[in-house]
Chains A and B, each alone.
Chain A
Amino acid sequence: MIGRSIAMRCAALVLTPLALAGCWPTGETGFVEIRTFPSAASTPLYLDSTKLEPFKGASAVLRQPVGTLKLQADAGPGQLALICELIVKKNRITTVTVSVLERPPRCQCRDADGATSRASRSCAA
């Protein structure tokens, strides 16, 4: 009886913070690769509302939950403008090149052959 009570308390104590911290392994994940052109440009980009750290090189590969993400850029004080949507699929990589020379920046999705890209509002793996 006492043992069961302790076990239940411990289970609740262990599981609750994990769930709150988002560590519970519920979601499937995929990847997005974001490249910027020109590579030296440092325009702040956002995935949904999360600001991305400046890229170390010309690109960043990020693990993301499966679903659709909004790639956004600054559009004036406190405002974000949608550049394109990135569709993340399980264990797949979606590649997009953002041309930051243009205003607003423009997305080019990488095609299946990997060599060409096309301007688009929605990129999929």
Chain B
Amino acid sequence: MAKAGRRMQRGWGAVASFCGLVFLIAVAIPYPVAAQSTPQADAITPVEDFSKQLDQLKNTFGDLGKKIDDSAKTIDGLTDVQKARTEIEQLRAAVSGLLGAVVDNGEVAQMGVRAEQRVQDKLRALEGDTRFKPEERQYLLEQWRRIQGETQRASRELGTARKEFSELLRALQTNEDFIDELVQIRQAQKAIDVIRRLTSEIRDASGKLKTLIGSIKPPNA
């Protein structure tokens, strides 16, 4: 009985090890790399991946837009410098989260670069491809050029988002530092004035963000 139990335990151990191995392989090969390994099979995949990520980002932009509006409302009504600083800090953390998603060394931007590169490769390959009739090749080239234009435009919009978030983060941190300095020299009323002025910058950012969300159009394959 005990022997059977040990055998069963070893059996389960082998199953668990196998599962782990499969998991390790899955972790070691990130999806985009796996996609790159079959470039001829489906050249549109990187563009679709980029498009999906942009779609997801747009939703998170919306969440941040709400946070900005709420923070502006809260900060506007505050007369307690400490509470205002906490609110600014929380907003800074929220903006950082979004900026982190669109930075140049982030996954979405890298996906954009890969998508553009893949489309460029495809165009180059098609231009020298003699398998198709001229009109067929022309049609394929037009379609890939359209996708290229849309991908480039989406990447530019991502760049605009990066710029907006950087500016907002900078505005928050410099105002926060100024408020800190004012508190240190016991100028609470002046600090509250700065807090109020910051609200208008935050509202301005909220407006820009709404426009940005509306303008972002993921490439349509």
Main secondary structure of the interface of B (DSSP, over half): helix
Q: Kindly provide the distance from the CB of B15 to the nearest chain A CB, expressed in whole angstroms.
A: 8
Is there contact, CB below 8 Å, between A62 and B12? no
Is there contact, CB below 8 Å, between A60 and B166? no
Q: Can you list, as one digit per residue, whether each of A15-28 has a CB less than 8 Å from chain B (1) or not (0)? A: 00110010000000
Is there contact, CB below 8 Å, between B104 and A91? no
Is there contact, CB below 8 Å, between B106 and A63? yes
B170 within 8 A of A: yes
**Stretch touching chain B among A6-14, A37-45, A68-76:** A6-14
- Contacts of A53 on B, CB cut-off 8 Å? 104
Cross-interface CB contact of A33 among B23, B105, B166, cutoff 8 Å: B166
A78 within 8 A of B: no
A61 within 8 A of B: yes
Q: Can you list, as one digit per residue, whether each of B149-179 has a CB less than 8 Å from chain A (1) or not (0)? A: 0000001000100100010011001100110
B1 within 8 A of A: no
Cross-interface CB contact of A9 among B16, B24, B169, cutoff 8 Å: B16
Is there contact, CB below 8 Å, between B99 and A31? yes
A102 within 8 A of B: no
Q: Can you list, as one digit per residue, whether each of B172-203 has a CB less than 8 Å from chain A (1) or not (0)? A: 01100110000000000000000000000000
B27 within 8 A of A: yes
Is there contact, CB below 8 Å, between B104 and A112? no
Is there contact, CB below 8 Å, between B159 and A92? no
Q: How many Å lie between the Cα of A18 and that of B28 in the bound state?
A: 10
Q: Chain B: which residue is nearest A12 at the CB level? A: B20
* A–B pairs, 9, beta carbons within 8 Å: A2-B8, A10-B16, A10-B19, A30-B96, A31-B103, A55-B104, A60-B104, A63-B99, A114-B170
* Chain A residues engaging chain B, CB cutoff 8 angstroms: 1-2, 5-6, 9-10, 13-14, 17-18, 21, 29-31, 33, 53, 55-57, 60-63, 91-93, 95, 112-114, 125
